[in-house]
Chain A
Amino acid sequence: MSLLEMRHITRRFDDDTVAVDDLSLSIQPGEFFTLLGPSGCGKTTLLRMIAGFDDPDAGSLLLDGEELAGVPPEQRPVHTVFQSYALFPHMSVAENVAFPLRMASVRRAEREQRTREALEQVRLADFAHRRPDQLSGGQRQRVAVARALVNRPRLLLLDEPLAALDLKMREQMQIELISLQMEVGITFVYVTHDQGEALALSDRLAVMNNGRVEQVGDPSDVYEFPDTRFVADFIGTCNLLDGSVGQSETGLVYLDVPGLGPLGVASDASPRTGAPGTLAVRPEKVRIDARIEPATHENRLEGTVHDQLYLGDVTVYRIEITDGQLVEAMLPNTSARGERFFDFGDQVQLAWRHDAGRLLAD
């Protein structure tokens, strides 16, 4: 049985904004689940309804099979790590962490021991007597996590907990969160608009847009096999070529792209001939070279180098293909002395395998 069931949840504000729109999801026990989506897509609204600060206008939430409607936040075994951390400013670090235990009337000896353990878990044992305003951002964040975990909730909600930290700190905290989650075995529901974070942290993730779920799956599924144009575009970068469905054979569809001819794409679907479709292919799947021998199971195009972006580990080339459209190709910088492979205006050929692309029907 899933731990948390969301069934057809809808939440409207002032009648015209639909923050969450007929959304259904189920969260499995023990998983690290991420809600990923652009600003304003309804992530916080959804978390607030799970925590009990807000109620859905329609639909139901079930935790361990039990309806949550009407249960006040203090009675839900769900704790939240707020983006602002919301540490109590007049309490010490230890008092903050002990707060949920105090609320649950845990006896003093046990309370002190569990507080100490929780602080050790986030490596803050030496800071127990400090006030929150005497801590760095990363330390505050860890206090917030320790406080939310200490009373072992069934579900931990985290609303962009790393957004306020700098890049280095964020990467370090990501690693710590993963190992902490494995250690305590508590189900995490994590909210972020950072796709890299979502891919790195999650067991499964849901991509949200306009209050709806566009796709749910494990990170590599969602990255490699986007279902919709929005997902392909929002996670990583993706070349999108619009056309209409031409011939198809088993497992392969040819898309007629104006000016480029038919391009093959592996697909189990058998779309109607003439239906509009989009071919999505990631830049790192596209090979470029001065000459590429034609091969079966591959699409091959020609173009000129339009511009290039040197990123250190990789270089992204933008190739103008015959009809004036740009296709991005990403090449690892494998040469020892860092010389460039191609220059502006070079005539190149590019190719990708049929099964490296993805047919989006929308």
Chain B
Amino acid sequence: MSSVEVRNLVKKYGDFTAVRDASFRAETGSLISILGPSGCGKTTTLRAIAGFETATSGDILLDDKPVNDIPPWRRNIGIVFQSYALFPFMTVADNVGYGLKMRKMDRDQIARKTDDALNRVGLPDSHLKYPRQLSGGQRQRVALARALVIEPAVMLLDEPLSALDAKLRDEMRFELKRIQRQSGVTTLLVTHDQEEAFTLSDQIVVMNNAVVKQVGSPREIWDNPNCAFVADFIGIENILPAERTTNGVRIAGHDFAALSDAAPGSDIMAAFRSSDLELAGDEAGQFAGQVVGEAYTGNYNVYQVQTGLSEAPIILKTGKSQRLSGTINLKLAPDRIKILERD
């Protein structure tokens, strides 16, 4: 078990930069996610850690020792590929035992450890099946067992749940967390599913366009996204251009009190969740709006409200019993306004 650190990693393919100056660190035994949209460089980063890609510049450190020159087969990293990459011509037991065989372990020991690993992932009696005879979820478990059984220093998971249907995905998410906790292996998970990242991780690395935008705990990122991209990616609906004032922000001429230490006058973005807007009486409202669109979901109602703050309507969410129409008055508590860098 060891810590993983990526230090100023750059990966170029010809003129194209797939990862630009990425840095983050996962402590021993923790679970860290790389979260970002398709094509942002998540897999490339993971492959650089595994040793399948050589870094154009920057370092990969395992337990604070650079491993750039160590080939993949000597890094002792367990990898679960998105496609699982189980060997189709080997049985489940042979798949799981493969890494041990490569370590020249004797057969009894391989059999014992294979049994143990398959029990741990909840597949106690599929030893003699071939991968094609398994369901998606079972294959995923075999891939996990195969990566865990070698007792890797680090485990890398590339979108391990994306090939599963929604229900199984939720189940496997808890399984994954349980197995990671029990084995205590430092784990790096690549995903574009923010819910997955938030429920599983100790730390999240948010990437966009080859760049690491923010690194933090789920709580930190949820409460304090540092830029418009992260705010948008974690589902904050209203992100508006604004200006910093001495004690708050000014959005399209409207002043709001806010908590921030950014320098006054600088161009920023102000963001607030649809559920953080409050309805106000006539005199207490900070701004007025006109309901122009509505949608009813099971648990709440979503409204589009045209206000003076922006050209596009802002989004407002209410409990399902609260129905709105016509002109309404709104206010925003100072601690609900998030101040973001412009991208």
A binds B: no
